[in-house]
Amino acid sequence: MIVKIANAFRLLTPALFIGYAVYANASLFLNDETRLKGTDDLSLMEGGLTREFEEIYKTSLPHRAPAVGLLGAARYLALGVGKKGVIVGDDEWFFTEEEFGPDINSEPLIDRSVAEIAAVRNELGSRNIKLVVVPLPQKSDIYSEHLGSISDTSNAISQYRHFVSRLQSQGIEVVDTRSTMMSAKAEGQVFFKTDTHWTPLGAEKVAAAIEQEMILPADIDSKSFKLFSAEDTSFWGDLVNFVTGSDYGELAGINQEHTRIWRAEEEVADNSAVDLFGSDESFPVVLIGTSYSADTRWSFAEFLKKDLKADVLNLAEKAKGPGAPMYAFLQGEVLRDSPPEVVIWEFPTRYLAQKGIWDTKPQSDGEASVGAKTVDLKLLAKEQSNGHS
């Protein structure tokens, strides 16, 4: 009986594949949206028809998404690897390939970043605003033990140290976060296993390090904030998409990430009230940065409020890199109308090897400016207090 079933399966499988191929191709080329153009519009000698076939198959093949997801899950289960863009370590630790690029220790790229940061420091200094740079080490550096012989992480360590040293040589105030995060590993994870970002524990420890190393201006109004747990949440790490689709993560044996979101609430005496949206729209501290700061799931701005004992306006942005949010701030209404006393600039060092992080720099005087940003401080404060980025 078993032999008969096996033989039937062997005969049926090719028929199923052939049937699906006929169906898929008919769906593609009978559809007005994916039908090939006339061959008179294409140069067969130059491969135009071939390129159009490839593009249609890449973008329009029926069931492409589930097919890719299932193939990725099977590849991960069988070989323990993902697609281009991810490095798979042991025990379900995923790392972005951005941390292993050939330019990771490029002297010219680091020099460019230091020069741009120094220019920002000078611009803010001319307005009596203090700049504090918070470089973040790479996940592959902090958790190199999960990479074994897969990739060498010594470049990530030297890159971080060189970047910090160059900033300090320019008189730029820097908070060393690498030693903080290495020490915090004894208490729990400071990066998520399948995501590029830090955990709330990592963010909390860095916020505490900033408070320890940074001297706030004496005239900042000190406030007391209490942390409370707003909610627990689960999510698929952003690196799972480089292994399989999130719909097939469980099939591949990958676990979702779990975290607790924290909020900071000002503590006041019983006979006083807090006017969150009153006439005073100024914030003594502004936070600029990437999704490490902008994403409310990591609670970084909330930890800063508690440790610095000061209101923090979070102007970090997701998917923009460290340069664009800073240029938007320099061109925006917050700096013009309600300048802070301190600007904290969170800066992941993995961006140093990316050549385009300064492309949004505004043009010189007389040319059109780039990145101007209008911010309603009352509305933004309300959104942040409600947990919206």
- Whether 77 is in a domain gets the answer no
- Whether 88 is in a domain gets the answer no
Rg (alpha carbons) of the chain, rounded to whole number: 26
Q: Would you state the torsion angle of the CA atoms of residues 13, 16, 21, 22, taken in this order, to the nearest 10 degrees? A: 140
Three-state DSSP state, 96: strand
Residue of 113, 144, 291, 299 marked active site:
291
Rounded CA-CA distance 370/80 in Å is 44
pLDDT at 334 over 60: yes
Question: For 361-380, what is each residue's pLDDT tens digit?
Answer: 887 544 333 333 444 444 44
Helix, strand, coil content of the chain in percent (nearest 5): 45, 15, 40
Question: For 290-327, what is each residue's pLDDT tens digit?
Answer: 999 999 999 999 999 999 999 999 999 999 999 999 99
Residue 169's contacts (CB-CB under 8 Å, 6 or more residues apart) are none
Considering the domain architecture, whether residues 105 and 252 belong to the same structural domain is answered as yes
- Whether 2 is in a domain gets the answer no
- Whether 257 is in a domain gets the answer yes
Three-state DSSP state, 194: coil
Position 311 scores a pLDDT of: 95
* DSSP structural state of residue 190: S
Which domain, by its residues, includes 297?
Answer: 98-385
Considering the domain architecture, whether residues 191 and 45 belong to the same structural domain is answered as no
Rounded CA-CA distance 75/271 in Å is 63
Considering the domain architecture, whether residues 51 and 114 belong to the same structural domain is answered as no
Considering the domain architecture, whether residues 40 and 105 belong to the same structural domain is answered as no
Mean pLDDT within 217-244? 92
Considering the domain architecture, whether residues 353 and 240 belong to the same structural domain is answered as yes
E-strand ranges in 5-129 read 86-88, 94-96
- Whether 68 is in a domain gets the answer no
Considering the domain architecture, whether residues 50 and 111 belong to the same structural domain is answered as no
**Most confident by average pLDDT, 49-53, 106-110, 217-221, 309-313:** 309-313
Rounded CA-CA distance 316/116 in Å is 18
Q: How many domains are contained in the chain?
A: 2
Q: Treating both helix axes as pointing N-terminal to C-terminal, what angle do 154-169 and 107-125 enclose, rounded to 10 degrees?
A: 40
Residue 138's contacts (CB-CB under 8 Å, 6 or more residues apart) are 99, 153, 156, 159, 160, 348, 349, 350
Nearest to 202 by CA among 284, 259, 266: 259
Residue 195 among the catalytic residues: yes
- Whether 4 is in a domain gets the answer no
Strand 225-235 relative to strand 257-266: parallel, antiparallel, unpaired? antiparallel
Residue 291 among the catalytic residues: yes
Residue of 113, 146, 195, 307 marked active site:
195
Considering the domain architecture, whether residues 223 and 342 belong to the same structural domain is answered as yes
Position 317 scores a pLDDT of: 97
Nearest to 80 by CA among 156, 155, 153, 147: 147
Q: Average model confidence (pLDDT) for the chain? A: 81
pLDDT at 239 over 50: yes
Considering the domain architecture, whether residues 46 and 107 belong to the same structural domain is answered as no
Considering the domain architecture, whether residues 282 and 376 belong to the same structural domain is answered as yes
Considering the domain architecture, whether residues 185 and 252 belong to the same structural domain is answered as yes
Position 104 scores a pLDDT of: 79
Considering the domain architecture, whether residues 169 and 242 belong to the same structural domain is answered as yes
- Whether 197 is in a domain gets the answer yes
> Phi and psi at residue 379, in whole multiples of 5°?
-65, -40
Residue 222 among the catalytic residues: no
- Whether 81 is in a domain gets the answer no
pLDDT at 42 over 60: no
Nearest to 291 by CA among 312, 315, 318: 318
**Containing H/E element for 147?**
none
Residue 91 CB: number of other CB atoms within 10 A? 7
Counting every residue, how long is the chain? 389
Considering the domain architecture, whether residues 135 and 194 belong to the same structural domain is answered as yes
Position 49 scores a pLDDT of: 44
Rounded CA-CA distance 330/308 in Å is 23
Residue of 197, 238, 293, 311 marked active site:
197
Q: Contact, 243 vs 94, CB < 8 A?
A: yes
Question: For 43-73, what is each residue's pLDDT tens digit?
Answer: 444 444 445 544 544 555 555 566 666 777 7
Position 201 scores a pLDDT of: 98
